[in-house]
């Protein structure tokens, strides 16, 4: 009977260990994307780039002259880089829109990605941290904020009164 109890105790220890490992190690992998600033820091540190880089397209920087793809400037309000996308960007791809450059890698000073992901909707919805990052990038470009951003700011002001 004691060997039977030992197996249960070992199984419980293994399960608890697996849960602790998942919470501590996998939690850091929950970032959907990194900022342009983080991508620049990684390039300076070791030449790498995060898999997905998010930011706002700076106005009047889009060049669609390539057969497929486009080049543009992307910013997070702290850093701005030239980006090139290899796939044809979606029709919604335009100035002042929040985008994610997928499969990002550095080619010199240019951040190259296989495709641009754009939210398909009238507003940009995300958690409060991301809204703040998008607002900061929009402020840096002089682009108007999204309707949702204005509502969030008004809501925060009313709570602080």
Tell me the CA distances in angstroms from 76 to 11, 51, 99, 128, 159, one per residue in order. Answer: 47, 16, 11, 15, 27
Tell me the per-residue pLDDT of 123-136, one tens digit each, with 9 for 90 and over: 444 555 556 667 77
Phi, psi of 68 (to 5 degrees): -125, 140
**Does residue 113 surpass a pLDDT of 80?**
yes
What is the chain's length? 161
Q: How confident is the model at residue 119 (pLDDT cuts 50, 70, 90)?
A: low
Residue 62 and residue 79 in contact, taking contact as beta carbons nearer than 8 Å: no
Q: Give the pLDDT of residue 61.
A: 93
Half-sphere exposure of 111 (CA within 13 A, CB side): 35
Q: Give the pLDDT of residue 160.
A: 35
């Amino acid at each position: 009977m004691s060997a039977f109890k030992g197996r249960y105790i070992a199984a419980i220890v293994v399960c608890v260990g697996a849960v602790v490992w998942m919470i501590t190690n996998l939690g850091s992998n929950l970032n959907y994307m990194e900022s342009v600033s983080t991508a620049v820091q990684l390039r300076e540190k070791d030449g790498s780039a995060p898999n997905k880089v998010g930011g706002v397209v700076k106005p009047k920087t889009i060049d669609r002259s390539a057969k497929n793809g486009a080049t543009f400037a992307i910013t997070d309000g702290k850093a701005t880089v030239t980006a090139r996308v290899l796939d044809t960007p979606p029709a919604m791809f335009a100035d002042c829109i929040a985008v994610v450059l997928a499969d990002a890698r550095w080619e010199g000073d240019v951040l190259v990605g296989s495709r641009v992901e754009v939210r398909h909707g009238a507003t940009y919805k995300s958690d409060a941290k991301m809204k703040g990052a998008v607002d900061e990038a929009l402020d840096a470009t002089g682009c108007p904020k999204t309707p949702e951003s204005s509502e969030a700011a008004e809501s925060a002001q009313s709570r602080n009164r």
